[in-house]
Each structure stands twice: as structure tokens, then as C-alpha cells.
Structure 1
Amino acid sequence: MKMMLADSLLDLHTTGGTIWMTPISLLLAINVGLLIYVIIARLQNKTISAKWVEAIKQVGLLAAVWGAFSTIIGFFQAFGALEEIKEMLPFQVIMGGMKVALITVLYGLLIYCLSLVAFIVLQLTAPKNQ
């Protein structure tokens, strides 16, 4: 089952376009790193600046914006290609292209939602002196 999940995630990454999906994946890795840093610092009772917790939310927002930007670019390219074609295309072909274009925004919004959950949990569990 795990291999199938990994294969499907890799397929989504490839289908969504490596050029557009890789930065979103890097933002996810940065967010996970920030989250681990904040959790470890809190477990060691270190005082951390609120900007580190805020950075988790902002990096997630950047992932969502990058996903939306790449979707708009994908739509722009698709509509340009459709404009060049002289014969009618089946509706399924057009919808398949739109489905592919929405992968990046879905991935970016998923990362943003996870970032917001992490941000809210970290805010609610913050020590009183921070």
C-alpha cells in the first residue's frame, strides 16, 4: 500500500509539472524544518521568537500562492494551445487538461492548510512568556 501511495504522489508530482511542483515541495520541506525547529526549541525550554512560528504560516501561504500562479500559467498555456487548433477537441480532452492544471494549486493549498493547523496548534500551546 505504501508503495502505491508513493507511486501516486510521484505521478502527481510529474503530471503537475516538475518545474512548478518542485518549488512547492521545497516549501513543504522548509515548513517541516521550521516546525521541527520550533518543536525542539520548545521541548528544550528555549525562548524562541514569535517570528519562527509566523514563518510557518507565511511559507505555507507562499506555497498556496505559487500553486495558484502556476495554475494560471498552465491555463494561459492551455488556452493558447487550444486557440491554435483548428478542429474541435472532445470535451474530455479539455477537462483532462484543466484537471492537470489544478494539481499545483491543490498541492499548494494542502500545504497551506497544514501550515495553518501547525500555526494554530503552536499558538495555542505557546508558553505564557513567549
Structure 2
Amino acid sequence: MIEFFFNGGFVFMGILTLILLFVVIISVIVAISIFIQKINNTDETLREINYIRSAGIFAVFFGIFGQLIGLFSAFKAIKLDEVDISYSFITEGFRISMITTIYGILIFSFSMLIWFVLKKALEKIEL
């Protein structure tokens, strides 16, 4: 797992991990306020729940951005080198460039699951 983190690029994977931590922290805070039923303002709680979804969407786009930067750098290096490059080298580059996108999609999936559960829980309390 740590190998994927460093292969994906420390900067992009680090920022995506911070987004994941943000999603987890906000989720715990909102879940505590919902399940202990200390909700003073439903609109504010709904806004906090939507932050979870927004962070997940940002994670997908940031992961794709990381992949595009990696591919751009790889193609630039291939062009400058102008030697015969094997297909295995290119496919390994594509595999590594997809790590940030996959991580972003996993964060998005997790955030959407949490968003859905917390939103349904908030709707049950409002009734």
C-alpha cells in the first residue's frame, strides 16, 4: 500500500489523503450531531453533509489532474529521449499514472456512501 502511495506521487497522493481525512473528520462530526440528536440547525447540518460530497467530487478531479500531469511528464520525457522505448515501459507508466485517479475515485465512492447514509439519517430525524 505504501508502494502505491509513493508510486502515485507524494504530492498528489498526499493531498488526496488530506481530502480523505477531511471527509472522515466531517463525517464523524456530523454523525455525532445526528445520532446524538444535538441538531440546532438542520440547514447547517445539511450544508456540512454536502461538504462531504463536494470533497469527494474534488478528489476525483484532483486524481484525474494528477494522472494528466504524470502522463504529460512521461510523454515529454519520451519525446526528449528519442530512443526506442519498450511497450512494457509505456504500459508501466500508464499503470502508475492511474494510481491517483483510482485513489480519487475510491475517496469519491466512500464520500458518496457516507453522504447518502448521513442525509437519510438526517431526513429520518426531521420526520
Q: Following TM superposition, by how much is the alpha carbon of 1:76 offset from its aligned partner in structure 2, in angstroms?
A: 0.6
Q: Name the residue aligned to 1:89.
A: 85
1:129 aligns with 2:126: yes
Instruction: Name which of 9, 16, 35 aligns with 1:24.
Output: 16
Corresponding position of 2:3: 11
The Cα shift of 1:128 comes to 4.5
| Aligned residue number for residue 25 of structure 2 | 33
Runs of 5+ consecutive residues of structure 1 not aligned to the other structure: 1-8
Code of the residue aligned with 1:123 in structure 2: it is K
Q: Which of 94, 100, 108 is equivalent to 2:96?
A: 100
Distance 2:12 2:72 in 1: 14
- Tell me, yes or no, if structure 1 residue 43 matches structure 2 residue 38: no
Report the counterpart of residue 60 of structure 1 in structure 2.
56
Question: Which structure is richer in relative contact order (CA contacts within 8 A, separation 6 or more)?
Answer: 2
Aligned with 2:98: secondary structure?
helix
What amino acid maps onto 2:116 in structure 1? I
CA contact (8 A) 2:34 2:121 kept: no
CA distance in 1, matches of 2:2, 2:125: 42
> RMSD between aligned alpha carbons?
1.3
Question: Which ranges of structure 2 fall in alignment gaps of 5 or more residues?
Answer: none
* TM value normalised by structure 1: 0.89
Provide the identity percentage: 25
Give, in angstroms, the shift of residue 43 of structure 1: 2.1
SS of match in other structure, 1:87:
coil
Q: How many matched pairs?
A: 122
Q: Which residue of 1 aligns with 2:107?
A: 111
Q: TM-score, normalised by structure 2?
A: 0.91
Quick one: distance in 1 between partners of 2:21 and 2:92?
A: 29
